[in-house]
Amino acid sequence: MRLLTAAALAAFVCLCTVIYHNTNLLLLRNAENYTDLISRRLETEFSLMADSSRNVLLTLQADPNVAKLLDAPYSEQYALFQEVSESLMTHSISNPQIYSISLVSDTVHYSNLYTAETLDSFREALTSSQPAFLGVKSSDFRRLTNFPEKDFLIFGAPILLNGREVGATILSMRSVSILSYDEEENEMGSYYVLCRDDEVLYAFNCLPDLADTLRQAAFSAQGSTASVGGYTLNVTPLDKMDCSLISALDQRMAGRNLEGITIPIWACVLLLCAYSLFLFLLLSRNLVSPLNKLFSVIQGVRSTQSRGIAAPVELSGCREIAAMGQEFTNMMDNIQRLNRKIFQTTFELYEAKIQKQQAEISYLRSQVDPHFLYNTLEVVRRMAMERNAPEISELSLDISRIFRYSAKGDSLVPLREELRMMESYLHIQKCRFEDKLEVICHFPEETLSLQVIKMLLQPLVENAIFHGLETKSGLGTLFLGARREGDRLLLSVRDDGVGIPPERLAEIHRELESPLYDTSSHVGLINTHARIQLQYGKEYGLTIDSEPGEGTNITLTLPAQE
């Protein structure tokens, strides 16, 4: 248990170390994603501003009044300036990003932000006829006037007149939405630099020396993303401005936020270890110990090969464990109960087998040596014929047929053969009762080929004649019939004799429902019922209904087998 506890604590420490390391990686990854998100935002805003300024500059390039103003002598500039100023005002109002539009030529230096020298430097930086990004510049008059803007994005385009460069148009675009940054970016160690290969155009939130170092490292590294000197660098080309945006993530700053949670993490580790130890002891008392006790009981049952337990298993601990002990006790009790039931069922099957054998032995004992009997009956028949007594001859022939049929080895016969035997038997009974017995038979053709147990109807017919019709005064009627219902064959033996008293009928019903058959009495009914169930199963058998003075109806249910 101590080893298990130590292993659990070591696992917790390792787990917390892994969590600490993964948390550090996660913070770094989040910082990188945040830096990349800011870079994409800046790229989008720079692209939109470049497109907007390009459209304005191309419009001013196409304005002939602007070209005329920049090329006009001083005497004509005033009138042209009135027309151009309206156009400049229209562009400034329609595009809120434009802070100021400046004009510069040899004779014109119009700007509210920059001196003539600065405007001339912008003009000189335009090396092609297309609009271009000139960099980031603050106002030359910032100290004299309280400008809300600190730095401006400068875009410019040369103005041509008859193919000759006569000046330039300079746009000073507002930069607050782009060049501003949050303190959160500094806390995460994210730096952004706008630069070209050879110079830094603007350092968003870092000193110029650091910005130049980041520029050199970024352009000397292979690929658009690199890790140099503890910084993760990402270079985003700004093709529309002919420059690049460098984002730099200080990896040490990104993980600095983790230092503040190190102590809480280890405090949580200690608390978790203490809680784990407490939980382990609690589980040991409420779970492990009871399960060990249950295991010992199971081992004892297995070693002794017992099918039961001497006393109920009582397990301490939580409710589920106690319920497990109770369920185990119930299971062992059920096993004992099932064992007793299996033993009882086996005993009953053995008894049934013995009863079947006894019934067969009794049936065989009732037989007379068939050859001797056949010869005797044949002698009687010949003597009757010699003395002109055909009735006696027919009776002898009927008896011979019955005994020959009963002596056949087959246990199952077609219903047709059973009925032939019954004709001989009923002929004998009619000769005995003369006109007192009437027999009605109804056997559909579809039932005659179905298999039945041999000598199945004779005991029932004999029972109906001797117990139902013999004591009746007047004519008695015996009905024999069959019908098929699905996969079952129903045979009926019905008489209109004296019937069976209710108490005697109840006794017969009890004997029919009993699992053990007493074949020593009521052979006609009980033995027939036993033969059917032993042959086909408990779902088949004999049913009997009777009313005193009304008669008796016996129904046999058999499987319809071809």
- Residue finishing a domain among 221, 237, 253: 253
Q: Which tens digits make up the pLDDT trace of 371-428?
A: 556 556 666 666 666 666 666 767 777 777 777 777 776 778 999 999 988 888 888 8
- Structural domain for 509, as ranges: 435-559
* Buried/exposed 23-53: b ≥16 CB within 10 Å, e otherwise: bbeebbeebbebbbebbeebbeebeebbebb
Q: Are residues 215 and 147 in the same domain?
A: no
540 or 377, greater pLDDT: 540
Which residue, 178, 206, 240, sits at the end of a domain? 178
Q: Is residue 41 located within the same domain as residue 141?
A: yes
Higher pLDDT, 262 or 201: 201
Chain segment 318-339, per-residue pLDDT in tens: 777 777 777 777 787 787 788 8
Looking at every residue in the chain, the average pLDDT score rounds to 79
The segment with the largest mean pLDDT, out of 166-180, 209-223, 252-266, 282-296, is: 166-180
Contact 177, 149 (CB under 8 A): no
Answer yes or no: do 90 and 227 share one domain. Answer: no
Residue 92 lies in a domain: yes
Q: Give 259's Cβ-side CA count (13 Å radius).
A: 5
Residue 312 in any domain: the answer is no
CA distances in angstroms from 238 to 244, 308, 334, listed in the order given = 5, 86, 83
pLDDT at 7: 65
HSE-CB at 324 with a 13 A cutoff on CA atoms is 17
- The CA-atom distances, in angstroms, between 148 and each of 53, 91, 100, 183 are 21, 20, 13, 20
Cα–Cα dist 423/420, whole Å: 5
Residue 558 has pLDDT above 90, yes or no: yes
Is residue 124 domain-resident?
A: yes
Asked, for residue 74, whether it belongs to a domain, the answer is: yes
pLDDT over threshold 90, residue 158 = yes
Query: How is residue 240 annotated by DSSP?
Result: G
State mean pLDDT over 483-492.
Answer: 93
pLDDT reported for residue 209: 79
- Among 81-90, 184-193, 426-435, the range scoring the smallest mean pLDDT is 184-193
- 113 and 237 inside one domain: no
pLDDT of residue 491: 94
168 and 52 within one domain: yes
- The model's pTM is 0.44
Secondary structure (3-state) at 198 = coil
Strand pairing report for 231-238 and 200-203: unpaired
pLDDT band at 443 (very low <50, low <70, confident <90, very high): very high
Give the whole-angstrom CA distance, residue 101 versus residue 114: 11
pLDDT class for 368, splitting at 50, 70, 90?
A: very low
Domain assignment present for residue 440? The answer is yes
Domain membership flag for residue 149: yes
Strongest mean pLDDT among 9-13, 409-413, 448-452: 448-452
Q: Point out the domain boundary residue: 114, 144, 178.
A: 178
